[in-house]
Chain A
Amino acid sequence: MVETLRHDIVIVGGGAAGLRAAIAAVEADPRVSVALVSKVYPMRSHTVSAEGGAAAVARDDDSLEMHAYDTVKGSDFLGDQDVIQYFVEEAPRELTALEHWGCPWSRNPDGSVATRAFGGMTTKRTWYAADKVGFHMLHTLFQHSMRFERIVRYDEQFATKLLVEEGAVRGVTALDVREGVMRTILGRAVILATGGAGKCFPFTTNGNIKTGDGMALAYRAGVALKDMEFVQYHPTGLPGTGILITEAARGEGGRLFNSKQERFLETKPEYGVGSKLELGPRDMISRAIIREVQAGNGIKGPYGEYVHLDLTHLDAGLLQKRLPFVLELARTYVGVDPVTQPIPVRPVVHYMMGGVDTDIDGATELPGLYAVGECASHSLNGANRLGSNSLTECLVFGARAGRHAVDFVSGVGGVDEGRLRERADQEAARVEALRGKQKGGEKLVQLRREMNQAMEEGCGVYRDQGSMRATVETLAQLRGRFADIALEDPSRVFNTELIAALELANMLDVAEAVAIAALDRRESRGAHACSDYPTRNDQEFLHHSLVYFEAGGPRVDKKDVTLGTWEPEERKY
């Protein structure tokens, strides 16, 4: 029988959002017991790879209203304006809290926190710690969390299922990667903070752990995934690896050039970035690069065509001070020294605007279940996220969900654990049957490759009905074929093949939701650009998409957008 552990709140995921939720919960009520369950040690979480910064109004020439409007416009009017308003109000407080906890924010000469320019932001409001902002925020949060004994870590434990009883979530089952045994971790609230699902795609900035686990857990428990068709392609990834070159490189003055040495964002007004040029929003700049390549203006390389990100006109001292990681990454991974040579870059899958459907508290429609960070969709980002809003989002909504969960659990009574144990035993048997499963004709690596290829073909920067439909069909087949998977490793301890299989199952579900939602949105909005429906259609599509997991296949639904101060208008820069 499966061992049972008991806490008040179970948080799945130990990145910025999960850690912030944990800290907020124990701060709100020091008696509350929090389980922090993560498939990796928290400091390995993908927050660590975020580079450029975190947005919050800090300067006298800025205002909350301007941050809100930039975010609404960036979202192509699909962000909920009440959520955006709350976000911009809380953002300065949250980044200040990080400052008090020791985050090494870069400083102005007078000792105040420095801010830099970022894409789609009207003024300098992105706080930074050189170009390793995610790394510093994550380690600050992780080290700060060590103060609290009531945060109990379960490191390298892979959550496999949400336990639901009497219409409410009651905990999770988790595979202890190291012991190879399943455990039940009960809590009267569960907060999912597992990040995005970039690994559904072949070319991504995301680390290997970004497999949509929390999205899949919620989806299978009957909670909708929202706005999944909006996949952010970051304009500047290194060819081959997909390693991110931060937007801060353009914030500090970097320029994009095609093979003809043409600064195409300046010479071609049709790309829509106006006078913002390289500091236009990510969706527009990624499209511009793809169109340059399609027009024959790409630079040919061993991993496809790319354009140049040029920093050579910037002072070497400034680059070393503000962008040391960019220098290290370019030198190490493409053998280019940005001080003297342009960096080869191409658009790369970076971020999911969509995720588990939540309200402004991070609460889902399943009582007790919350989602925060990239794994969630609070409708802050709508159809396109502005760079540097997401790190702040992890803090603002991680904290709010953590506090809300504390209130929620105080009103929830006990539950019949016998039923939960039964479910946990069934789940343990399912995972056990998969471990080293010999009978089957399908290979994990092959299925993963086919999923990656289908997602690239159907859910790229530009999409059309034909390719999306083909991708939806392929994914349905792949999900069927997964049942016939054969594995090779029957061992118990640190069986990473078993983890990879569980991750692939999660990705297949999430990928299907992305493709289905994309196929359903017959317009172009934000990051969802359809070549056969090239304009935004507010009449029919000014709504969030919802995808529900059902036995007969995914079901698509919709949800109203909350407008407010700003009515939709043409998105021009």
Chain B
Amino acid sequence: MSDVERKTFVVTRFDPDRDEVPKTQSYEVPCQPDWKILDALNFIKDHIDASLSHRWSCRMAVCGSCGMNVNGEPKLTCKVPISDYSDTIEVAPLSNFPVIRDLVVELEGFLEKLEAVKPFILRAKELSLDEGTTRQTPEELEEFKQFSMCINCMLCYAACPVVANEPEFLGPAAIALGHRYSLDTRDEGAAVRSEIFRGEGTVFSCSYANECSEVCPKNVDPAAAVNQAKFNSVIDWATRLVLPRGGEK
């Protein structure tokens, strides 16, 4: 294709074996007009500087690997076009995460948070395969479907002002995914998760900034999930106080 445009990428570099603190490095990249930010990073890696490290795989906005800060905003770099930006583009690792190397951030904390919300179907008695599939109407599916669309790209954690101040905060994606199971008609674990959500550093830490939902590339709306989980936790708690045996049926 013609119409190559030269752009300057100012990329954050950090190698823990060599650098005390992150630094930046500039690269002049001849960009095709239909490129995404990720294409430019791959061009740098292949043709200018083989030592640049970044994660990527599907390049179709579903594997969630390539989240980075672009001009200070968390973006899925395989999804945002270069044409959205001026001649100089800053690419940095996602905020609010420890940096492993260059544009690669630490995800272990998120994996622990995800595990903590019990992101699976909880039932008193597990279903047997001989019973066949469960009935779930399209309306019942709609109740939780949106929250199941999270690709774990971590943009919401990078945008969240609470995560910035309180790294232990469960955070938008983990809460949305836990709440997604509580809303599922096949699940009986809502009370267990409400208990988790009443703990410190969970839903009540949220300050309603709504940044998570604004940056989400998949329109999951984690802020709504956090709000609903908060409401359910309160209701559940109140029910337990008022009704014998915690309102269990």
Contacts and interface: CB of A to CB of B under 8 A. Distances in A.
B59 interface: yes
Contacts of A325: 62
Nearest to A132: B62
Nearest to B56: A208
A426 interface: no
A543 interface: no
Interface in B124-147: 126-127, 129, 132-138, 140-141, 144-145
Contact of A244 (B18, B60, B149): B60
Contacts of B137: 107, 109-111
Contacts of B50: 444, 487-489, 497
Given A49-B60, A491-B18, A144 B120 contact: yes
Interface in A37-92: 40-41, 43-46, 48-49
Query: Which of B140, B141, B144, B184 has the most chain A CB atoms closer than 10 A to its own CB?
Result: B141
B127 to A, nearest CB: 5
A328 interface: yes
Contacts of A93: 129
A211 to B, nearest CB: 11
Contacts of A491: 15, 17-18, 51, 101
Interface in A468-524: 487-489, 491-497
Query: Which of B58, B129, B181 has the most chain A CB atoms closer than 10 A to its own CB?
Result: B58
A302 interface: yes
Interface stretch (A96-104, A279-287, A555-563): A96-104
A492 B187 CA distance: 45
Contacts of A493: 15-17, 100-101
B125 to A, nearest CB: 12
B104 A489 contact: no
B129 A97 contact: yes
B168 interface: no
Contacts of B55: 40, 44
A38 to B, nearest CB: 12
Given A100-B127, A104-B141, A493-B16, A209 B57 contact: yes
B191 interface: no
A139 B17 CA distance: 34
A105 B135 CA distance: 11
B115 interface: yes
Chain B contact-residue range equals 35 or more
Given A132-B62, A332-B61, A488-B51, A43 B152 contact: yes
Contact of A43 (B53, B64, B186, B187): B64
Contact of A207 (B49, B51, B57, B150): B57
Given A100-B186, A110-B135, A208 B59 contact: yes
A445 B47 contact: yes
A146 B115 contact: yes
A496 B129 contact: no
B135 A494 contact: no
Contacts of A21: none
A40 to B, nearest CB: 7
Interface in A262-308: 302
B63 A49 contact: yes
Interface string B50-87: 11011111111111110000000000000100000000
B21 interface: no
A40 B107 CA distance: 11
A489 B101 CA distance: 13
A102 B15 contact: no
Nearest to A329: B60
- Give the dominant DSSP class at B's interface: loop
Contacts of A488: 49-51
B176 interface: no
A99 B134 contact: yes
A48 B62 contact: yes
A143 B110 CA distance: 13
B96 to A, nearest CB: 18
Interface string A132-159: 1001100100011011000000010000
Contacts of B221: none
Contacts of B121: 100-102, 144
B246 to A, nearest CB: 24
Contacts of B28: none
A178 interface: yes
Contacts of A132: 62, 149
A549 to B, nearest CB: 27
B178 to A, nearest CB: 10
Contact of B135 (A44, A112, A445): A112
Interface in B27-41: 34
Nearest to B49: A488
A49 B115 contact: no
Contacts of B115: 146
B177 interface: yes
Nearest to B138: A107
B129 A41 contact: no
Contacts of B134: 99-100
A405 interface: no
Contact of A104 (B18, B126, B145): B145
Contact of B119 (A96, A143, A332): A143
B234 interface: no
Given A101-B121, A243-B59, A111 B53 contact: no
Query: Which of B126, B129, B181 has the most chain A CB atoms closer than 10 A to its own CB?
Result: B129
A49 B65 contact: no
Contacts of B145: 104
A240 B59 CA distance: 12
Given A44-B65, A49-B62, A101-B120, A494 B151 contact: no
B59 A40 contact: no
A408 interface: no
A198 B138 CA distance: 36
Contacts of B60: 49, 241, 243-244, 329, 333
Contacts of B100: 178, 493-494
22 contacts: A43-B64, A45-B63, A96-B129, A99-B133, A102-B184, A104-B145, A111-B137, A144-B121, A146-B119, A207-B58, A208-B56, A209-B57, A244-B60, A328-B61, A332-B79, A333-B60, A488-B49, A489-B51, A491-B17, A491-B51, A494-B101, A496-B45
Interface of B: 1, 15-18, 34, 45-47, 49-51, 53-65, 79, 100-102, 104, 107, 111, 114-115, 119-121, 126-127, 129, 132-138, 140-141, 144-145, 148-152, 177, 181, 184, 186-187
Q: Please list the 3 inter-chain residue pairs (A to B) with the smallest Cβ-Cβ separation, ordered nearest first.
A: A111-B135, A494-B101, A207-B57
Given A44-B63, A107-B136, A207-B58, 14 more contacts: A44-B57, A101-B121, A102-B121, A112-B135, A143-B114, A146-B115, A155-B111, A178-B100, A208-B58, A325-B62, A488-B51, A491-B51, A494-B53, A495-B53
